[in-house]
Amino acid sequence: MPDRPLRADALRNRRRLLDTAVRAFSRDGAEVTLESIARDAGVGIGTLYRHFPSREALIEAAYRNELAKLCDAVPELLATLPAQAAVRAWMDRFVDYLAAKQGMADALRLAIASGANPFARSRDLLHAALGELLAAGVAAGTVRSDVAPADVLAGLSGVCLVAGEPGQRGQAGRLLDLLMDGLRPRPHPAGTSAK
């Protein structure tokens, strides 16, 4: 990535290339041609190489872009939805993110084999994003205060493991609703206090 900010047209080209690459690697695997990615993004191969000097660089950037889109959605979700609904909407986006990641598995293995580590900051970024959402839910009184982001991410990963295929989206939604039910504060019997 260049040190200076990209011009608006270059930024648009980069975004189109990344979105196209995610779809192509998910659909066709690591062996999809860079020429077809450039063509489908509506740019020349030279433009692709100016942004991404190698296949591995494109794969890593495409994955990191998906992660950034997921994590960067938190402020908008919290600004436009009640906290509990923002958590649930983010969960849907997480399912999409993990499906893209799984679809790109072969391509990601190629990037890792070349020495790249596209996952270097994934856990920290996901924990921070989900932690912000959960904290907003706690502050609103709609999410339990004793839930760790790591536990919710484990639950989300489990949902994706058993219902992560596109044809299982209905089941994934029902499982996410169950997970949300588990995040709701528990009523305390009369005469007891919250711990």
- Each residue's pLDDT tens digit, 82-139: 999 999 999 999 998 988 888 888 888 888 888 888 888 899 999 999 999 999 999 9
Does 45 map to a domain?
Answer: no
Tell me: pLDDT of 190 over 80.
no
What is the DSSP code string of 89-146? HHHHHHHHHHHHHHHTHHHHHHHHHTT--TTTTHHHHHHHHHHHHHHHHHHHTSS-TT
User: What's the CATH number where 134 sits?
Assistant: 1.10.357.10
Does 146 map to a domain?
Answer: yes
Tell me: pLDDT of 191 over 60.
no
pTM: 0.84
Residue with tokens 């908008």: 76
Tell me: pLDDT of 2 over 60.
no
- Domain of 145, in residue numbers: 55-183
> How many domains, the chain?
1
Cα(143)–Cα(111) distance, rounded to whole angstroms?
Answer: 38
Does 22 map to a domain?
Answer: no
Does 148 map to a domain?
Answer: yes
User: How sure is the predictor about 53, in pLDDT bands with cuts at 50, 70 and 90?
Assistant: very high
**Residue 166 to residues 12, 172, 173, 179, 191, Cα–Cα distance (Å):** 28, 9, 11, 19, 47
